[in-house]
Structure 1
Amino acid sequence: MASERPADTVAAAATPSSAPRPNDALARSPLPHSPLPIDAALPDLRAALARSNAAVLVAPPGAGKTTRVPLDLLQASWLGTAKIILLEPRRLAARAAAERMAGTLGERVGDTIGLRVRLGSKISSRTRIEVVTEGVFGRMILDDPELSGVGAVLFDEFHERSLDADFGLALALDAQAALRDDLRILVMSATLDGARVARLLGDAPVVASDGRAFPVETRYADRDPNRRIEDAMADAILRALRADPGSVLAFLPGQGEIRRVATSLEGRVGPEVAIAPLYGALTPAEQDRAVAPAGPGARKVVLATSIAETSLTIEGVRIVVDSGLARVPVYEPGLGLTRLVTARASRASVD
């Protein structure tokens, strides 16, 4: 169902990011180990993968599955000295996951935790967990169909259902059936219908984490159809800043809209409010500045594309403003090409 309102404002308590729970092999971690909802599901997940070569994990956003599950599985007896491959849908999410897990171990990316993305990799002989993007994994398994030295492949945020993720899962299942019956495949998602994917994996066990929810108030803001979406979004963001405390995460369809909203907000917010764009074409340093929490007494307005929808926690965000629009690929059969068009975002995506 398409969203009927172009600009939705949601005020919510942000889920704090936390490091994985310590265990025998990870006891040297210098970061505080706050409990997360995924902790309660880890024993069931370990048992499921001990008796089966595939499983499905359903855990809501903020449960901690991205950074805690791979580290926990490092101790599994079936893994031995093999590696774990963790697939992320985007480079930003891959870098954030790798850096968080490496920080948990008191290391740098490239030691126990490695990163492999387009145009850059940080891998060493000590690497046990490789965080890769879905496109990179497709090339990896085509080059080595047996996935030599790999004990488990984890598909994170699978509900996004990209062509690369579907292609990678198909190849991994083929390798498991024909070459590597010991290869573990774990599909993880926040909103997935676990039973349907479990059937695809040969009736694999499904492990669910209840997560933890916070009260969310949704406010729908009407927009004059004769006004540009950038002007309406700037006004909605200013109203949200005046009405509620905390930082703001605003979703816009593309880079051009983000730049125009940022220009519109300049001079209209106080000196304590920083404007931070976030999209794929930015440099890693610029992306890191957008994701980093605001300083003491400061607030931040993060203007993002769908790059920030999943696999990413921006600390301090209590307000989300969604334009109700998204840039989606549409295949043109007459031209034989796929082009991006701006369309109404689905209500499920906005929620």
Structure 2
Amino acid sequence: MNRIPLANRAIALPLIGLLAAWLSFMGATLANLYVPQPQYGPNGNVFFKEEIFQVAPYLFLLGIAAVAVSSLLAQGLAIKAREQSQDSSSLARAAHRFSTLGIIVGLAGGAIFAIGNFLGAFNSYAGRSESAFLRIFSVYVPILLATGLVVYVLLAAFVFRHDESTNTDGVKQKMSEAQKALGLGYAVPILATAVAIIFGLGVYDVTRTNLQVWVWVIIIAIVAAGVVWGTRFAAKAKSAKAAPPKPRTALAAGAANLNLVLSIIFGSVVTIMAFAFGTDAISKLQTWPQPPINCEGVDCATEPIITGPTWNWFIQELAPAKVLLLLAVVGIYVTITERNKESK
């Protein structure tokens, strides 16, 4: 194995991970075929024959992890190859870019997997079990594992780099304050989103009903707090003085850019949600009366009834929309000011 050049190994590793991912995905697809399908009773009620532990989510996650981890290992080999060639090898540079692409694909796959599990958990016709044990290991644990995978690969690939772990005398470097802030700048928004997802699922499982608007407000508030704190940590790392000979301001700028993108997405989505919830709240003031069953000799035309706003309507329907809009305004303002704060 050592006879194979580092750059070649760096290119081969993500491809091996891709093969492993394909096998895992095919296994997950096969496992899904054995999941008992829902049965429907005479009155249309749905029920499941039996509760089983589903291995498909873990196989899907295993495939994603294979791509991400193999690409992460390949990045280390590519960096060593560039160092050995003093950055003169085009193959080593290509291997570095290729391994970074594999890492990005793995990170995107992990994020999509976690969000997909979150959204799919609300579908009671997707094999959802009533057992708390099976529910935890079918939904919650895969989301936590995916979050851990994304955070680990992200930090290992872009913060605690392979080429920056030791000093010139071979002694392992201690983590600086800027490095800590940099890691938190990347990790905090992701962890906050995971906490918000787990909270939403917990409320859904306890109440067995669709999430109320106020629950969505709390979820958005948790995500907003994560983005704001992530922006603060990224700004702290960006404003720190780089320790020679290897400045870290580029990585800090990457964390700041990550949180900038997250803040833009957050502001856009939450603003749209605020307008949508507000419009829906206003529309609920209009109700349609139930038409008569037999329209013979009776005017079946109905007119909508506009009811006046009440405190109950304001608190349950309109207030959440206003709070969401306030979260969007404050979140955008804080992230912009924190990002562009003058360093002291």
Q: Aligning the two structures, in what range does the TM-score lie when normalised by the shorter sequence?
A: under 0.3
TM (norm. structure 1) is 0.20
Larger helix percent: 2
Higher RCO structure (Cα 8 Å, ≥6 apart): 1
Larger strand percent: 1
Decide which structure has the larger Cα Rg and report it: 2
